[in-house]
């Protein structure tokens, strides 16, 4: 499964999930539903995620962009028509890595394997999966994607 290419609204915004080592464990939409919609992979049946990879490049030639990847799972609020519709809670890291893709430029596509947490690899029916990239550095626009392998439980 590929997670990439989306993640931005018509205004070009990406949702922000904090500044910590790991992404935030909850997210309140408020007025950012259009920013979040294309970032979600809905899981209708239980799955087990077994492998994940991050791919990285950028739109510039300036070095200094550093990319860190996380694959997360969240409970999704299905209460349609409610102020909390689509809010995310109970987030857990499914996969991440200790290494960083450093100096991402448009001269290459770098990749790395993420480490899957065997305690969090089960994603239950009704949850959503999100691939996240923390881009710190020179200001080039990040171009990233995550891919993962899963099977039905």
pLDDT in tens, 100-121: 787 777 888 889 999 999 999 9
Task: Please give the residue that has the higher pLDDT: either 14 or 2.
Answer: 14
User: What pTM value is reported for the model?
Assistant: 0.86
Distance, CA of 53 to chain centre: 12
**Alpha-carbon gap, residue 65 to 61, rounded angstroms:** 10
Q: Are 150 and 48 in contact (CB under 8 A)?
A: yes
Tell me the β-bridge partners of 66.
Answer: 136
Per-residue pLDDT, 9: 41
DSSP-derived secondary structure letter, 27: B
The β-bridge relationship of strands 2-4 and 142-152 is: antiparallel
Q: In the prediction, which pLDDT does 72 show?
A: 95
Q: pLDDT tens for residues 44-99?
A: 999 999 999 999 887 777 777 778 899 999 999 988 888 888 899 999 999 998 77
């Amino acid at each position: 499964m590929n997670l990439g290419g989306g993640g931005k609204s018509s205004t070009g915004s990406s949702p922000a999930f904090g500044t910590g080592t790991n992404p935030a464990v909850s997210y309140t939409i408020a007025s950012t539903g259009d920013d979040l919609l294309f970032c979600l992979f809905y899981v209708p049946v239980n799955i087990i995620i077994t492998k994940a990879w991050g791919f990285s490049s950028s739109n510039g030639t300036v070095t200094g962009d550093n990319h860190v990847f996380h694959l997360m799972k969240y409970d999704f609020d299905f209460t349609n028509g409610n102020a909390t519709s689509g809010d995310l809670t109970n987030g857990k890291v499914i996969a991440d890595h200790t290494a960083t893709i450093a100096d991402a430029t448009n001269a290459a596509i770098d990749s790395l394997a993420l480490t899957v947490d065997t305690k969090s690899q089960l994603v239950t029916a009704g949850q959503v999966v999100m691939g996240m990239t923390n881009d710190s550095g020179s200001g080039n626009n990040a171009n990233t994607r995550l891919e993962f392998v899963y099977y039905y439980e």
